[in-house]
Amino acid sequence: MGKDYENPEELKEILSVVSTEIPKLIEAITKTMYNTENAQNMAKSVAEFYKTMKAAGMNDKMAYELTEEFMGSFSIGGLISKAVQGGASGKDEIDDYVEEQIKKKVKEKLEEKANKDD
């Protein structure tokens, strides 16, 4: 699955990049998710989801619980929790995107560091 690192300095370098870039990436994702337009779209989606559950014949309690679960998919905490737990159905498009962005940033930073060292 992973790569073994014989050189502790190389591993230290990678962890240093990861520790600085992941918080920046999470902040960027948060800003994107919670801008005004996206917040309005999320609210509309949640309201429509609840209406659909009620129209399907669910009682208030069940519709509320499912809507609450649905809303969790919009939160950073929900996304992180899902990622850590592996999600009910494994990885999804968001997981793939975040993983791709992390790998891209780590690679860029390592290349920058290598170029500075040359």
Model confidence pLDDT, tens digit, residues 83-116 = 666 544 555 566 666 677 777 777 787 788 788 7
| Residue at 47 is within a domain | yes
| Residue at 76 is within a domain | yes
| Residue at 44 is within a domain | yes
pTM of the model: 0.44
- As a dihedral over the C-alpha atoms of residue 52, residue 55, residue 56, residue 57, rounded to 10 degrees, the angle is 140
**Residue with more model confidence, 118 or 105:** 105
Tokens 């780590």 correspond to what residue?
A: 106
**Residue with more model confidence, 20 or 79:** 20
Number of domains in the chain: 1
Report the pLDDT value the prediction gives residue 1, as an integer from 0 to 100. Answer: 44
Q: Cα separation of 70 and 66, whole Å?
A: 6
Domain that residue 64 falls in: 31-107
Q: Which DSSP letter does residue 41 get?
A: H
